[in-house]
Amino acid sequence: MMRKQMKRDVVIRVRDLVNRFGSHTVHDGLDLDVTRGEILGVVGGSGTGKSVLLRSIVGLRLPQEGKVELLGYDMLNITEADRTHLNQDIGILFQDGALFSSMTVAENVLAPIREHTSLPNELAEEIAALKISLAGLDLSAATKYPSELSGGMRKRAALARALALDPQILFLDEPTAGLDPIGAARFDELILSLRESLGLTVFMVTHDLDSLHRDCDRIAVLAEKQVIALGPMDEVRHQNHPWIKEYFGGPRGRAALASVPHEEMGDPAEGARV
């Protein structure tokens, strides 16, 4: 099975996207490119369709109009065979984790391995244990059920499952929501570490200003049914748009900025930091 060669190593390409719910239009002509190896943070006010955009990209929602390419596949005209193949190249961490409550952590991580591969049980279990460890969990958590885990541990368990098949792209929907500041910071550090060690591309929907500062190479701002700003943090936060000025220039935005060492801030002229 051959994939199309991506121009400029763009792994996600969205053009003229339209999403409607009845008479309510969420996206109208939205464009967005995501390049291989970057961490992109997607932000916007309530109702701007951040999660809807994510779901449209991964094929969980069929938009009314537009074009979505994911790793070279046309997501609006993808065959079942190609979808099965693509599902092995993407990992998704939903906001609530979406773990199977009747399964242990190990069983949750094993589920996609058993669904998409024919590996022997012993090897599959070794891979699941590796992913659990990679996600920052002690292996003692493998036998626990989601109800026995803290919020931070559930996030990590869901991350381990998202990494089960060695994806190229990791989709995160509000990954630090509900975590205390220490837990959120540790999760951010984990995402950066995984990007460096596994070469992941990360598409992250978040409202967490600290995560945006710590993790993201570029930020896409959704407003007015489109992407109104796209670039490194230091470039985006200076855009003259009311929502951007309020979001990044308010007390929480200033506090998040102050917590980042000066040398970590990207120079807009140089593009995203590495």
Total domain count, the chain? 1
Question: Residues 108-124: pLDDT tens digits?
Answer: 999 999 999 999 999 99
Instruction: Report if residue 124 sits inside a domain.
Output: yes
pLDDT band per the 50, 70, 90 thresholds, residue 105? very high
Mean pLDDT, all residues of the chain: 89
Question: Does the model's pTM come out above 0.75?
Answer: yes
Instruction: Report if residue 264 sits inside a domain.
Output: no
Contacts of range 50-55, beta carbons closer than 8 Å, 24 or more positions apart: 50/205, 50/222, 51/95, 51/173, 51/205, 52/19, 52/26, 52/27, 53/14, 53/17, 53/19, 53/27, 53/205, 53/222, 54/171, 54/173, 54/203, 54/205
Instruction: Report if residue 246 sits inside a domain.
Output: no
pLDDT band per the 50, 70, 90 thresholds, residue 8? low
Question: Residues 146-172: pLDDT tens digits?
Answer: 999 998 899 999 999 999 999 999 999
Q: Which token pair is 2?
A: 């051959």
Distance CA 109, CA 52 (A): 25
Looking at per-residue pLDDT, the higher value among 270 and 41 belongs to 41
Instruction: Report if residue 204 sits inside a domain.
Output: yes
Q: Per mean pLDDT, which range of 71-80, 86-95, 198-207, 254-263 is the poorest?
A: 254-263
Rg for the chain, CA atoms, rounded? 19
What's the pLDDT at 249?
Answer: 85
Q: Does 2 have pLDDT greater than 50?
A: no
> Domain range spanning residue 61?
10-233
Instruction: Report if residue 171 sits inside a domain.
Output: yes
DSSP 8-state secondary structure symbol assigned to residue 163 = T
pLDDT band per the 50, 70, 90 thresholds, residue 191? very high
What distance separates the 2 farthest-apart alpha carbons in the chain?
Answer: 57
Question: Residues 228-249: pLDDT tens digits?
Answer: 999 999 999 999 999 999 999 8
Buried b / exposed e over 28-41, threshold 16 CB at 10 Å, is bebebbbbbbbbbb
What CATH number does the domain containing 152 carry?
Answer: 3.40.50.300
Instruction: Report if residue 248 sits inside a domain.
Output: no
Residue % of the chain over a pLDDT of 90:
81
Instruction: Report if residue 273 sits inside a domain.
Output: no
Instruction: Report if residue 20 sits inside a domain.
Output: yes
